[in-house]
Amino acid sequence: MIPLTNLPNTVSIREVGPRDGLQNEDRMLTTAQKIALINALNDTGIKQIEVGSFVHPRFVPQMADTAEVFAQIERRPGVIYSAIAPNLKGAQRAIAARADAVQVFLSTSESHNQSNVKMSIADSLSAAADIAHTLKESAISFEAVLSVVFGCPFEGDVPLERVLLIIERLLAMGAEQITLGDTTGMAHPRLVQAIILGIRERFPQVPLRLHPHSARGAGLANVLAALEVGVDRFDASLGGIGGCPFAPGAPGNICTEDAVHMLHEMGIDTGLNLPKLVECARRVEELLGHEVPGQVIKAGICGHIPNGEPRPWRAAAKALYAS
């Protein structure tokens, strides 16, 4: 394992609760409730919010009003309001909604891709090429999200070489960032590092983002493992809600406020206001009408983190690990 002295000083969090969080919930929030939640997130200092997805409402009814949400949210300067799109039609709807970035998602296993988007990987790559061309004409960021990178619930282990080939195709299309999804929480720290280092060896300059799940309790451990090999971009969901509705055993994104609390305790800056994140998580809990998985909302912020800001102990920690 690489020593903790190599951890980044800052980390970027993309809040995926309004999309990945809510899509797995039985209770469907109203458009007004979603708008109010995103507007509250604006006050936390978050710079990237996944507003929704442009998928067929028959498959994900919770996202049927994404266009209306985009039309009515309060947009803050410097904040990227993104959307997920699986095909050209979805991307065109995202463009019409004035999304700042569009994330194309496809799986690294054929079985999960069929379950998730009803297409083969080859068909998804073809659709991605069409989307990339359309987004380039619209000057909207084109990003790629890869599902089940760390294991598929239908097929088991996913060969690294297949992941690399898919990334190669997406980069050739102009993907500006690759997100590695642990869709069903099958990752563990050594696997996370092995796959990230394998990708870095082939594509040393590609910006990587980790989308961890906590389905089996390893979410924050996998964040630390990714930090140790230089990843400084992560997805997280308020309260730890969410998951993939098209795969068994897929509950639980990592919890935004729990991840931020851990990072701040470690002296790593996220630019986020932790108390306001906790307030947003409480709002989510009230809206959904059930307890959320997050822990900070239950235990509270450690008293020695002033205002939820990062602890100024990095220099001492570096000296400790160097000794």
Residues that are catalytic: 244
Which residues, in sequence order, are bridge partners of residue 237?
255
d(CA 103, CA 106) in angstroms, rounded, equals 10
Q: Which residue has the tokens 């990987």?
A: 121
Torsion angle of the four alpha carbons 20, 23, 24, 30, in this order, in degrees rounded to the nearest 10: 130
Would you say the C-alpha torsion 207, 213, 218, 224 has a positive or negative sign?
Answer: positive
For the record, the structure tokens of 134 come out as 């359309």
For the record, the structure tokens of 285 come out as 């809990």
Amino acid at position 314, single letter: R
255 close to 280: Cβ distance less than 8 angstroms? no
Q: CA distances (Å), 133 to each of 79, 193, 217, 306, in order? A: 24, 32, 39, 47
Q: Which helix (H) or strand (E) holds 281?
A: helix 274-288
176 close to 241: Cβ distance less than 8 angstroms? no
Residue 308: left (phi > 0), alpha (psi -120 to 50), or beta? left
DSSP assignment of 9-23 equals: SB-EEEE-IIIIIGG
Non-local (6+) Cβ contacts of 203 within 8 A are 164, 167, 168, 171
